[in-house]
Structures are given as C-alpha cells and as structure tokens.
C-alpha cells in the first residue's frame, strides 16, 4: 500500500515519486489536486509540449469501458520514448476503476498514468484500489493548514519582492485556504496590485483579496436545502472562481436528494421523526450539516423530492450533452430548486 498523506507530498515528490508509474490524486481541494498532478507530470520525464507523448483525457470521455485507458497507456509513442496519460475529473467511473485495477496488477513499463479525482469518500472503489495496491501512489489533497498557508504566502510574496505586515498577514490568512489554486491566484493578484511597493499592508489586502477560504460544493448544497438564493450565488461564484467544475455541485446535490428520498421513505414508513431518521441513515453527515438536512426532511414530501431528483438527473444529462452551457445549466436548475426550498 502506497498512501501519501497530504503533508507528506513534498518529500514524496523529491524522493519516492520516481519509483511509481501509477498515481491517483484525490481530495476536496481541487486546486491542490491539479497543482500536485502538474508537479508529478513535470517529474515524469515526458515533455509536456509533445502531443505524441502526452495524452490528456477527461473522465467524461471514458464511459465505454476500460479499453480506452488501457489502449492509451499501452500504446507506443510515434517517436518512441516515455508516454504520459493524464486523466482529469474522475470520481467513481467504472471504466477508470477497472483500468486502474488492471494496470495495478500489471504496471506499465514505458508509460505513466496520472488520475485527478474529486473528494473520494473512504470506501469509494477508485480510492480503495489506489490505497490497496503497492503499484499505485495514492495522494490525498486536503485544504491547506495554517503552516502551509504561511509558507504559500511567504513564497508568492517573496517571488514578487514583497514583505507583509503582521496585520495584513492575519487578514490575508482569513481569506485563504479553501482551495490551493484560488489561494495562489489571490496572492498573485495581491502582488500585482502592490507592484512598486515594498510592504503589503492591511488596506491592500482589504482592497483586492477575495474570499477563497472555503471552496466546497457542500456550501452550495446547503444553500439549496435552505432556500438561500444569495448564499447559493455566493457559493457558486467561489466554485467557478476556483476552477472547480460546476458539475460537481450538481452531482453533490443529486446525492443529497437521493439520501433525502431514502430518509423520507423511512420517515413515512416507520413514522419516525426527522432527527431519528437522520441519526440512523445520516451517520456520514458532518455534524454541522445535520440540522440543515433534518429541516429539509420536515419540509420536503416524498413526491416533491422525487420530482427534484428527476430535474437533477435531466440537468446532468443536458450538461454532459452540451458542455459549453454547463455552468449556466447548473446554476439555473440549482436556483430553481432553492426557490422551491424557500417556498416550503
């Protein structure tokens, strides 16, 4: 088993990564997943400018089975040499899981496979394969802690020739941390704003830095359940700013309504209260989210929940079929459900 903890990655990159051909990166911090995948790609020995050596695939392209992934990994490049296959946007697609299992059993010798996944839960098939095989380096990517944030601030500002006052640092750290990419973008924006200065002060931070402290699809789902349109718009803005695919918010909302459907059916069948059902069927819920789910259970009837499930499933199909409209389709339909929640 080759599980790399989030804080162990830098050491792994410098000392252990060269011993692997298969990499699975997952976690709620999508920016950190992408950043670390790019670092591993840079150490693979493959020229990232060579279209014959580097193949980038989206998980949505791999619905027909494991064959496409295996073909790409096992194919010999036009001019020979090492090859890199880089998959983005994975969750628990059967084709990707099957391909990783087959490759873990017989690792490739001339190719490297990097899989970028979202927040895989403990026990998810793809994560289970990655964590149980010695041939796969499974890298967890969780939001930066205080120490990592301090290091990130120092690195980005030092590269711009800037120092920062204690008050400005404190204010800055409050706004960072939810997503590595969003945090880095805010720091670079701050550095550009302070161009020509020597010291970053608190007024500079207040003037230019946005809120990148908590990029989470759960925020969008909770806003939908509470019928809070303003909170939903704010959450979706943070999601898109952090380059997190809006589709993930839609997918998380679908899972939440599937859970609501199960809970509501149990409530109606056994005549239990919302809190009793949430205690038994909602054990995986974060304690801060339980009151929100319990309130939704009280207000949503089984037929209404199933109606919104149909809407969500239809929107997922539409967003996959017309990817150029994904962002607007997701926002439009989540807003519609949030308005229904508010009415209830």
In CATH, what number is assigned to the domain containing residue 86? 3.40.50.300
Residue corresponding to tokens 């394969």? 129
**Of 116, 140, 164, which closes a domain?**
140
Number of domains the chain contains: 3
Give the CB-side neighbour count of residue 285, counting CA atoms within 13 A: 23
pLDDT number for residue 278: 83
Which among 107, 105, 100, 103 has a CA at the least distance from the CA of 129? 100
| Alpha-carbon span 210 to 143, nearest angstrom | 17
Give the CB-side neighbour count of residue 288, counting CA atoms within 13 A: 3
Percentage of the chain lying above the pLDDT 70 cut: 94
Same domain, 302 and 226: yes
Same domain, 257 and 304: yes
Range 317-335 average pLDDT: 85
CA geometry: angle at 35 spanning 30 and 40, to 5°?
A: 125
Same domain, 237 and 334: yes
Q: For the chain, what is the radius of gyration of the CA atoms?
A: 22
**Domain boundaries, position 248:** 213-342
| Alpha-carbon span 328 to 344, nearest angstrom | 25
Range 43-62 average pLDDT: 87
Banded pLDDT at 100 (limits 50, 70, 90):
very high
Same domain, 219 and 187: no
pLDDT number for residue 139: 93
**Does the global pTM surpass 0.85?**
no
Same domain, 191 and 232: no
Banded pLDDT at 214 (limits 50, 70, 90):
low
pLDDT number for residue 289: 81
Same domain, 240 and 334: yes
Mean pLDDT for the chain overall: 86
Pairing of strands 111-117, 54-58: unpaired
Same domain, 13 and 133: yes
Could you tell me if 30 and 238 are in contact, meaning their C-beta atoms sit under 8 angstroms apart? no
Same domain, 227 and 106: no
**Of 109, 140, 171, which closes a domain?**
140
Full DSSP string of 193-231: HTTT-SEE-HHHHHHH----S---HHHHHHHHHHT-HHH
- For 293, the 3-state DSSP assignment is helix
Residues 6+ apart with CB under 8 A from 309: 254, 257, 258, 261
Same domain, 79 and 198: no
């Amino acid at each position: 088993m080759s599980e790399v903890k989030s804080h162990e990655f830098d050491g792994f990159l410098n000392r252990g990564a060269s011993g692997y051909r298969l990499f699975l990166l997952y976690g709620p911090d999508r920016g950190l997943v992408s950043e670390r995948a790019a670092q591993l790609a840079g150490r693979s020995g493959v020229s990232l400018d060579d279209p014959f050596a580097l193949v980038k695939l989206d998980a949505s392209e791999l619905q027909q089975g494991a064959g496409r992934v295996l073909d790409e990994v096992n194919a010999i490049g036009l001019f020979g040499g090492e090859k890199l296959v880089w998959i983005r946007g994975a969750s628990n697609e059967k084709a990707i899981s099957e391909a990783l299992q087959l490759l873990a059993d017989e690792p490739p010798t001339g190719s490297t496979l990097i899989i970028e996944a979202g927040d895989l839960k403990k026990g998810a098939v793809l994560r289970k394969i990655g964590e149980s095989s010695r041939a796969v380096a499974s890298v967890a990517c969780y939001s930066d802690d205080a120490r990592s944030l301090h290091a990130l601030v120092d690195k980005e500002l030092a590269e711009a020739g800037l120092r920062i006052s204690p008050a400005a640092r404190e204010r800055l750290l409050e706004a960072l941390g939810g997503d590595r990419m969003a945090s880095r973008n805010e720091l670079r924006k701050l550095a550009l704003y302070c161009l020509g200065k020597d010291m970053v002060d608190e007024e500079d931070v207040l003037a230019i830095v946005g809120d990148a402290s908590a990029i989470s699809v759960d925020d969008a789902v909770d806003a939908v359940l509470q019928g809070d349109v303003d909170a939903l718009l704010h959450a979706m803005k943070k999601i898109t700013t952090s380059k997190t695919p809006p589709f993930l918010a839609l997918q998380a909302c679908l899972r939440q309504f599937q859970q609501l459907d199960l809970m509501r059916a149990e409530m109606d069948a056994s005549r239990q209260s919302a809190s009793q059902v949430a205690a038994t069927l909602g054990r995986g819920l974060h304690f801060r989210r339980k009151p929100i789910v319990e309130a939704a259970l009280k207000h949503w009837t089984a037929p209404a929940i199933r109606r919104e499930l149909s809407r969500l499933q239809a929107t997922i199909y539409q967003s996959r079929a017309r990817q150029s409209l994904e962002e607007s389709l997701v926002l439009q339909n989540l807003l519609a459900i949030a308005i229904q929640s508010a009415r209830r």
